[in-house]
Amino acid sequence: MMNIRYRFIVLANFFSRMSTYFNEFIARAQEFAQSSVWLAILVGVGMPLAEAIFPVLPILAIVTANVTLLGPFWGTLLSIVGSAGGMYCIFLILNLSIGEKFRKSIITRPQVLRFYRWLSNKSTAFYVLILSVPFIPSAVVNYAMSLTSISKKRYAVILFSSRAIMFSVIGFLSSLMKDKPFEAIMIILAGYFLAYAIYYGIVQLVKYIKKRRRLFMSKKTVRDLDLKGKVVLMRVDFNVPLKGGVITDDNRIVQALPTIKYVKENGGKLVLFSHLGRVKTEEDKAKASLAPVVKRLSELLGEKVVFIPETRGAKLEAAIKKLKEGEILMFENTRFEDVDGSKESKNNPELGAYWASLGDVFVNDAFGTAHRAHASNVGIAANKKDAVAGFLLEKEIKFIGDAVNNPARPFVAILGGAKVSDKISVIENLLKKADKILICGAMAYTFLKALGKEVGTSKVEEDYVEYAKDLLKNAKGKIILPVDHLVASEFSADAEAELVDVNHTPADKMGLDIGPKTLKTFEKELHGAKTVVWNGPAGVFEFEKFAAGTKGICEILANLEGANTIIGGGDSAAAAINMGYEAKFTHISTGGGASLEYLEGKELPGIACLNDSEKPKGKKQCAEK
């Protein structure tokens, strides 16, 4: 008891002395300011500028001194100019001198990769809040931000806004407590600690609510609307492959038919719209028209679909007004609006509001773009009272959402494809949720090299080898890698294939497919699984010689009894469909990038913008929209 009391006395004495010394320093500074105003102004700018370079300098003391020397207004203003200007100069110097190539090599190191990705995903408001907290070493944060790809204009706004907020608070309290600047600093620190505690609590509560919402996610669907006589705006994903103006795979059009037919049968006047490819210039428009898509849709429906080759204007508006119940109209590629300022892709508010004005209700049935906040999904939904999911989107939410958030176990994930870097967040998220992760495709070689194995000339992401080593260590046996593979001396359909054990890969050959022993290993791991999610092919399935691995996985999953088998879009979906296994899977996603982000556990803006169901079936409602 005496020991605690003694420590308290020592601490109180320390703060008392600090207060005395600091207040004396301020008094001396006031005398200095009275004798040399211009020098005081120079110091007023110079001290916060120095703090921007050397993070050990106390910004609280500097601003308090400036306010005492020059008054609340000029002291605060000079502090903002010195600190924000200095930090921005340091940011520009580091950002421009290090260069994109060097930044990429730095951020791929395992020890900084997570921090870099965490920084890059934060909002402007978050940065302003963080940099306006005086006890956070803002100069250090500034150094870290110089390694990211944040825009210079956006960062300038962040810096000057955060400095203005922080220094205004400090200046106000310092002016109120002129005779006790040290005590003012203590009050500010205590206030920020309290504010941070409240902020942290709110963040944790929001995370909990979001987690519960994902677990019990239920969105209103087209079934919940009265469509009779209403103009139904429906975003579909008809981004289908074209060759010579002919559609080579109409799966995405076919998948949207149930919702289209439902709207027709229930008396809706249907207005369809979609993107097709990337459109950046006027020249791109010629090969990106939706005319071939409309033709194919008409064939599938057995009736005429009106096509308006425009994205806005009087002609489109007049055609929509002429629609009768059960009729369908489709207007031109939404990405045509990207030619002049990326209005679609950047969710231009005016464009979203205009498209929303064309109809009565909005139905989003485009899972393939659900991970993007575009004018044709989020922009329209923001301007519509009724914004709901179509049947395809509902199915994607059910199968992929349930697989990630509430899977029947055992839950096994199969990840293939070319790059580890493309699936970092997916692997990290699935390590927490899946019972096993089977890794194949070119990305497996980064993991095999992390284990010290010879990989020959196989595709390896050298910058991610250490990261893969960390993942294997943290996985504690969850990650299963290939044990044999087919190798060849060149990347060619005609290359001579050789089957070898992964421990005996020739130094002059590359792996292009998994072998039969690996398939046996995977089959053993998949035995008894109740949920399986597959994203990414096992090999170069486009070449017949190296398609056996991907086909073998299709065969194993097709014969897996009592399991929900889900393909997460992209190349693995294309492979399963082309090989004739489409009907053998529980669900094949229509969205590659969207399914990947869903597997990461992210909230997709194209789904989040839709109306929540008031009473999810069999589930407790956890949050209202």
Asked if residue 378 and residue 311 are part of one domain, the reply reads yes
Computed over every residue of the chain, the mean pLDDT equals: 82
472-507 pLDDT per residue, tens: 998 989 999 999 999 999 999 999 999 999 999 999
Q: Which of 181, 206, 231 is the last residue of a domain?
A: 206
Asked if residue 261 has pLDDT above 70, the reply is: yes
Find out whether 68 and 30 touch, Cβ atoms under 8 Å. Answer: yes
Asked if residue 580 and residue 497 are part of one domain, the reply reads yes
Find out whether 274 and 305 touch, Cβ atoms under 8 Å. Answer: no
Domain assignment present for residue 215? The answer is: no
Q: What's the CA gap between 624 and 616, in Å, rounded?
A: 11
Catalytic residue, chosen from 252, 296, 343, 423, is 252
Domain assignment present for residue 614? The answer is: no
- Fill in the amino acid letter for 113: L
Asked if residue 391 has pLDDT above 80, the reply is: yes
Q: Which residues of 18-50 are buried (b: 16+ CB within 10 A; e: fewer)?
A: ebeebbeebeebeeebeeeeeebbebbbebbbb
pLDDT on residue 624: 34
pLDDT on residue 12: 64
Asked if residue 456 has pLDDT above 60, the reply is: yes
312-330 pLDDT per residue, tens: 999 999 999 999 999 999 9
Quote the tokens at residue 456: 């020959």
Find out whether 358 and 320 touch, Cβ atoms under 8 Å. Answer: yes
Out of 111-120, 198-207, 453-462, give the one with best mean pLDDT. 453-462
Domain assignment present for residue 625? The answer is: no
pLDDT mean over 417-444: 87
Least confident of 148-157, 390-399, 549-558: 148-157
pLDDT on residue 24: 65
Asked if residue 198 and residue 159 are part of one domain, the reply reads yes
570 is catalytic: yes
Angle (CA) 507-511-517 rounded to 5° is: 110
Total structural domains within the chain: 3
Catalytic residue, chosen from 570, 591, 592, 606, is 570
What is the DSSP secondary structure assignment for residue 612, as one 8-state letter? B
Asked if residue 336 and residue 423 are part of one domain, the reply reads no
Quote the tokens at residue 521: 């290993």
Domain assignment present for residue 33? The answer is: yes
Q: What's the CA gap between 137 and 226, in Å, rounded?
A: 56
Asked if residue 617 has pLDDT above 50, the reply is: no
Find out whether 564 and 586 touch, Cβ atoms under 8 Å. Answer: yes
pLDDT mean over 613-621: 46
Question: How many CB atoms sit inside 10 A of residue 505's CB?
Answer: 23
Per-residue pLDDT band for 30 (boundaries 50, 70, 90) equals: low
Question: How many CB atoms sit inside 10 A of residue 457's CB?
Answer: 18
pLDDT on residue 621: 33
Q: Dihedrals φ, ψ of 313, to 5°?
A: 120, 175
Per-residue pLDDT band for 52 (boundaries 50, 70, 90) equals: low
Asked if residue 277 and residue 418 are part of one domain, the reply reads no
Helix (H, G, I), strand (E, B) or coil at 433: helix
Domain assignment present for residue 416? The answer is: yes
Per-residue pLDDT band for 87 (boundaries 50, 70, 90) equals: confident
Beta partners for 513?
486
Pairing of β 510-514 and β 484-488: antiparallel
Asked if residue 579 and residue 439 are part of one domain, the reply reads yes
Asked if residue 358 has pLDDT above 80, the reply is: yes
pLDDT on residue 613: 80
419 is catalytic: yes
pLDDT on residue 625: 32
Find out whether 607 and 393 touch, Cβ atoms under 8 Å. Answer: yes
Using alpha carbons, select from 408, 406, 404, 358 the residue that is nearest to residue 383: 358
Provide the residue range defining the domain that includes 173: 2-206
Better-scored residue on pLDDT, 430 or 271 = 271
Catalytic residue, chosen from 117, 419, 453, 530, is 419
Asked if residue 618 has pLDDT above 50, the reply is: no
Using alpha carbons, select from 576, 590, 600 the residue that is nearest to residue 240: 590
Q: Which residue has the tokens 């004396």?
A: 24
Q: Quote the percentage of the chain above a pLDDT of 70.
A: 78
CATH assignment at residue 428: 3.40.50.1260
Catalytic residue, chosen from 71, 267, 326, 593, is 593
What is the DSSP secondary structure assignment for residue 535, as one 8-state letter? E
Per-residue pLDDT band for 6 (boundaries 50, 70, 90) equals: low
- Beta strands in 431-576, from DSSP E residues, in sequence order: 436-439, 479-480, 484-488, 498-501, 510-514, 531-535, 564-567
560-581 pLDDT per residue, tens: 988 999 998 677 888 888 888 8
Domain assignment present for residue 167? The answer is: yes
pLDDT on residue 389: 95
267-306 pLDDT per residue, tens: 999 999 999 999 989 899 988 999 999 999 999 999 999 9
Contacts of 593 (CB under 8 A, 6+ apart): 368, 371, 569, 570
Quote the tokens at residue 13: 């004495």
Question: How many CB atoms sit inside 10 A of residue 535's CB?
Answer: 28
Using alpha carbons, select from 553, 565, 538, 524 the residue that is nearest to residue 415: 538
Quote the tokens at residue 579: 């090989």
Asked if residue 185 and residue 163 are part of one domain, the reply reads yes
pLDDT on residue 212: 57
pLDDT on residue 590: 83
Helix (H) or strand (E) holding 601: none
Asked if residue 377 and residue 403 are part of one domain, the reply reads no
pTM (2 decimals)?
A: 0.65
Using alpha carbons, select from 529, 458, 589, 446 the residue that is nearest to residue 553: 529
Q: Which of 358, 389, 420 is the last residue of a domain?
A: 389
205-255 pLDDT per residue, tens: 876 666 555 544 578 999 999 999 999 999 999 999 888 888 988 889 999
pLDDT mean over 113-119: 60
pLDDT on residue 216: 45
Asked if residue 281 and residue 159 are part of one domain, the reply reads no
Q: Which of 206, 234, 269 is the last residue of a domain?
A: 206
Pairing of β 436-439 and β 479-480: parallel
Asked if residue 303 and residue 172 are part of one domain, the reply reads no
Domain assignment present for residue 212? The answer is: no
Domain assignment present for residue 338? The answer is: yes
Beta partners for 487?
498, 511
Find out whether 609 and 363 touch, Cβ atoms under 8 Å. Answer: no
Asked if residue 10 has pLDDT above 90, the reply is: no
Find out whether 410 and 435 touch, Cβ atoms under 8 Å. Answer: yes
Asked if residue 380 and residue 422 are part of one domain, the reply reads no
Asked if residue 236 and residue 188 are part of one domain, the reply reads no
Q: Dihedrals φ, ψ of 302, to 5°?
A: 75, 30
Using alpha carbons, select from 399, 431, 393 the residue that is nearest to residue 412: 431
